[in-house]
Structure 1
């Protein structure tokens, strides 16, 4: 995930607290890695496939702002050249420019609206996958052989 994502909140289903997710927590959700709740210290993970799909779709919005800037600048330049050549009047050029800027701001407002979401995080029982080298001393200690 990129640093432009703001407004993504997490709701712990165990302690019923909603909090702003930090960038490392967003990264953990993106790679489907559980993390601890900062309030109740339970291990949380995003389990809802619908919310996970909505969260992953935020990647598509990362390049929206730069591409809209290029598109708006191109529309303004085309309108200026068309008015300079005489294809449209000054009023027509002004109208095209205003519509381009309006579309720019409406698109960015929609993108910001899509970025604000609250993800319901479920408490899970963590199953830590340890390598065999680390499991052997644990097993020996539990069996009284160490």
Structure 2
């Protein structure tokens, strides 16, 4: 099962935009390079502005559950206020419609803020120490 998160990556080398998988998002979060699924180049997010925008996405994760709780509480309070007689049925209907409108507008704005396209730059892969020692010994052996 694939979850659509809404975060896309744009490879600067092959000029292709693709949906980022969760493991690629984790790699970006810990600033670890990963391979492009199309050109097999090593990619990394190097723009500090986009990195800050990416790390700010977790603030928007709680909007959906908190808006659901707020909407339920306001609807229950409006129902009880109408039952007690503090507001009329039309007043309860108005409060309910306004809170539903605010709920959907807040969720739409949060969804808009969560959809971003990250510009991923190709970087030179860092060789492990084992490969560096083999390269060094091969070059020393040539001399």
TM-score (norm 1): 0.86
1:12-70 deviation per Cα after TM superposition (whole angstroms, max 9, x unaligned): 11111111111110111111111011111111100111111111111011111111100
Aligned positions, number: 139
Q: In structure 2, list runs of 5 or more residues that go unmatched.
A: none
TM-score (norm 2): 0.87
1:73 maps onto 2:97 in alignment: no
Query: Shift in Å at residue 136 of structure 1?
Result: 8.5
Give the superposed CA RMSD: 2.0
Cα distance change, pair 69–4 in 1 and its aligned pair in 2 (3 A): farther
Q: Secondary structure at the match of 1:127?
A: coil
Q: Secondary structure at the match of 1:126?
A: coil
**Residue in 2 that maps onto 1:10:** 9
**Residue in 2 that maps onto 1:38:** 37
Q: In structure 1, list runs of 5 or more residues that go unmatched.
A: none
Question: Retained in 2: the 8 A contact 1:30–1:56?
Answer: yes
**Residue in 2 that maps onto 1:28:** 27
